[in-house]
Structure 1
Amino acid sequence: MKSSVFSQKIYSSLLAAYRWYLLTPERSLDEAYQIALKIKEIEDKHFQGKKISPDSAMYSSSVMNYFRADLRKLLKNVRMRLTEFKASRWFSNESKQKAAIKAGIEYPSPTLVLKKLEFIDQVIDKYTENDLEISSETIVNSSINIADSSNNNQGDKVSKSVDNTENKPKRKTDSTGILPRSILTTITRLQAELDPGSEKDVVQNFRQTQKITILSVRFILLLIIVPLLTHQIAKAAVVGPVVEHFRSSESTQIFINEEMEEEALIELQRFEERIKFENMISDAPPLDPEVIKSKMEEKAQELATEFRDASSNAIKNVFADIFSVIAFICLLLISKSSISVLKDFFDHIVYGLSDSAKAFIIILFTDVFVGFHSPHGWEVILEGVSRHWGLPANRDFIFLFIATFPVILDTIFKYWIFRYLNRISPSAVATYHNMNE
């Protein structure tokens, strides 16, 4: 009896698996059809029934990256289901169809199958691999090119932006043509100006650029405001009470480094000398040593309270800065799309500058951080950081840092100019050398 029940379970399992196998073509086609409906729904809802592309709607690069990622997944799935459908149909034969009829399986009519396949082809045939490989720079570059067409120097700027986005090596035959490039760019500009739809394209791409600018400025403000707010909130609500709890007693150490102690002693000595000096110039009788001692004790207590608070504040700054760094890193991790938008925004700004402006910014930046007077600035910065964290200003470390880091930074600048800027904008490099001389 038990064996018969066990055999029936095995038979029912095998029958269910066989039915699942016979239903593979219908199941694969239905899944592909449902995925195609999802793609069509996105097109109708967000792109006015057109293909998912920056040319069909005005969205920022981060939003387009989101739609493009979903489209890539959906197209991959629908093609896999179609491949599964074709493979299962290829293995299907007349005997299997008869077995399906005996098992109670009814295949859809050929007309319904053809309609589903036709709909799927209409949806996915609009997309190619190039549509999925387009990066967020496409939106920015297109907006730059069309926006620059309204200027008098549109031809030169369009050629520069195209050259900047192309990474393929150019041959000599590609760099020269039968006609001068200025004539060709003039013809291109006239074609754009005579095109009836050029105004609409300019407005649309200007709005896209405006959205990118708003998103970038907002993200920059977040990068500044979030760490600062985190620092202040953590210092006031979390770190501050804990530090004050452990340093509330009068027996706690007043000075956390020797420099603070030396500064307090110098201040106390100056206070004593000031009392004596004021007494001498006021023609008053000599001060009683007890009076001087009482004033000195009062000043010493005042300095002790002041430097105890300064020590506590330095300890709070260390932990509050750790919270700020964590908040900054978390903001970067959850804002990858905003980082790509910000990169495009800076590329737009940098490539839109003139050669003299690029050279001016490079010279200003290098002279401030790696120039002749930069060691004094680095010394002030390092001393300020050490004071902020309550650390003693190690002169040996500061001098070693000044002797190495600006040199490394200068080498990186020169390599960047030689490796990248010389290829992207050689005229800016020539202007830089002329201004530097």
Structure 2
Amino acid sequence: MSAMKNSVFSQKIYSFLLAAYRWYLQTPERSLNGAYDAALKIKEIEDKHFNGNKIDTGSAMYSNSVMDYFESDLNKLLKTAKMRLTEFRASRWFLNEENHKAADKAGIEFLSPSFVLERLNFIDGVISKYTTIPEPISSQVVLVKPLTPPVDSAITPALPPKISTKDVENKSDKKPKGKTDTMGVLPRSILSTISRLQVELDPNSEEEVIQSFRQAQRRTIISIRFILLLIIVPLLTHQIAKAFVVGPAVDRLRTTEQAQVFLNYEMEEEALGELQRFEERIKFENLISNAPQLSPEHIEIELKDKATEIAEEFRRESSNAIKNVFADMFSVVAFIWLMVTSKSSIAVLKDFFDHIVYGLSDSAKAFIIILFTDIFVGFHSPHGWEVLLEGVSRHWGLPANRDFIFLFIATFPVILDTIFKYWIFRYLNRISPSAVATYRNMNE
């Protein structure tokens, strides 16, 4: 009987290993089919909604919400196709002639080379439309940035910068220089006024204004939505993980009888102080009241009930601190995942903040810089850092280490102050020197 059971068990293991090996041998075909299906879906969207053309996110055929929908589907399908192609190449690299012979014995037929090449050509033809490859700048054609008003807040540009086909001119080997590296003979305000007049006299300026407004509106919507996601997703992850994953596990492991009441000595001192104040209040009320005096036994019973209540309260607080540690890990993972999968949104958000920050007036820039520096590295900032670090320690159930807090306050604000000063000297002083002058005057 035991020999029969062993034989059945061996057959199950053999069939399982054979199925796993068949799955391994079919990995290239499965990966290629996945990439081909994703490319087919992209082609279907192009044919159905864009007349066979590229899915252009700046198209004026649909509203912003519809274009966001198409862009989301496009990004998912492109990511799927690229991942499947990478898996296809890796699996093809690991398979050798012995694997092909084993596949023939197992009855697995590989795709023909012509069929594979046909599908690869189709996939590359679809994906290549959305893959930006930087073209080398020749010595005869140079892209020249049009004249635009400087970022300095004293001059308000009429239109955001835009490069069109009119800006391509045949020039010699001159490398385009930024605004901070060039100095003109005429003041920038005169050049910006001339540029604004040219734009206003251009018959196509109205369409460009509308298109620029739509791009700015689209950038704002994407940025605000991404900021909300960065705030809401970690908070929701923390609450959901704490309520449904971490909480039940901690409650099951920390039983009421075996659970430690205090995680650190600060909790214990706080509980003893609370019990001592309760005892003193009972004695004080017993002395000043006209009611009959309480017996020592009755006072002892009330103290015991209060001690049990305090112990239960601090036991819950200790469990909550442990839950916070693991729930915060889930939140950090969710935040990192959101940052990794949203590189395009991060680029849009950076552009959004650049337009906001560098579009402010000089006094507004100086006010915001002084506000942030005084909050984080100012004279009163150590008190704020101390409260923040103590709150974090209490959130995780850790004792507030005074030496670590004082060392952090003595070093981290200094590093932040150095970073602020370097940014002002390295970047802001070149982009908006008038804002730096205003900042120095306000500081003095």
Q: State whether TM-score is above 0.5.
A: yes
Pick the aligned partner of 2:427 from 413, 420, 432: 420
Q: Give the letter for the 2:206 counterpart.
A: E
Alpha-carbon spacing, 1:220–1:44, altered in 2? closer, same or farther (3 Å): same
Percent of paired sites with the same residue: 66
CA contact (8 A) 2:159 2:209 kept: no
CA contact (8 A) 1:268 1:296 kept: yes
CA distance in structure 1 between the aligned counterparts of 2:399 and 2:324, rounded to whole angstroms: 15
The alpha-carbon deviation at position 49 of structure 1 amounts to 6.5
Alpha-carbon spacing, 1:154–1:171, altered in 2? closer, same or farther (3 Å): closer
How do 1:344-423 residues align onto structure 2 when only pairs under 5 Å count? 344-423=351-430
**Residue 216, structure 1, aligned to residue 188, structure 2:** no
Q: SS of 2:293's equivalent? A: coil
* Aligned equivalent of 2:140: none
* Aligned equivalent of 2:204: 197
Q: SS of 1:242's equivalent? A: helix
Alpha-carbon spacing, 1:44–1:256, altered in 2? closer, same or farther (3 Å): closer
Q: How far does the alpha carbon of each residue in 1:290-332 deviate from its partner, in whole angstroms, 9 at most, with x for none?
A: 1100000000010011000000000000000000000110111
**Residue 312, structure 1, aligned to residue 334, structure 2:** no
Rg bigger for which structure? 1
- Hey, which bits of structure 1, 4+ residues long, moved more than 4 A? 41-60, 127-132, 155-159, 169-172
The alpha-carbon deviation at position 409 of structure 1 amounts to 1.1
CA distance in structure 2 between the aligned counterparts of 1:157 and 1:436, rounded to whole angstroms: 34
CA contact (8 A) 2:155 2:189 kept: no
CA RMSD of superposed structures (Å): 4.0
* Aligned equivalent of 2:184: 176
Task: Tell me the TM-score normalised to structure 2 length.
Answer: 0.64
Aligned length: 324
CA contact (8 A) 2:429 2:436 kept: yes
CA contact (8 A) 1:47 1:56 kept: no
* Aligned equivalent of 1:109: none
The alpha-carbon deviation at position 400 of structure 1 amounts to 0.8
Instruction: Report which of the two has the higher share of helix.
Output: 1
User: Unaligned regions of 5+ residues in structure 2, if any?
Assistant: 1-41, 79-128, 138-144, 162-174
Alpha-carbon spacing, 1:348–1:131, altered in 2? closer, same or farther (3 Å): farther
* Aligned equivalent of 1:255: 262
CA contact (8 A) 2:318 2:397 kept: yes
Q: How far does the alpha carbon of each residue in 1:128-184 deviate from its partner, in whole angstroms, 9 at most, with x for none?
A: 95599xxxxxxxx99xx79x9xx995459979xxxxxx9836799x5222x544333
Q: How far does the alpha carbon of each residue in 1:246-303 deviate from its partner, in whole angstroms, 9 at most, with x for none?
A: 1123232111111001100000000001111112222333320011000000000100
The alpha-carbon deviation at position 361 of structure 1 amounts to 0.7
Alpha-carbon spacing, 1:253–1:181, altered in 2? closer, same or farther (3 Å): closer
CA distance in structure 2 between the aligned counterparts of 1:327 and 1:158, rounded to whole angstroms: 35
CA distance in structure 1 between the aligned counterparts of 2:51 and 2:286, rounded to whole angstroms: 86
User: Unaligned regions of 5+ residues in structure 1, if any?
Assistant: 1-37, 71-123, 133-140, 160-165
CA distance in structure 2 between the aligned counterparts of 1:192 and 1:362, rounded to whole angstroms: 34
Q: Give the letter for the 1:260 counterpart.
A: M
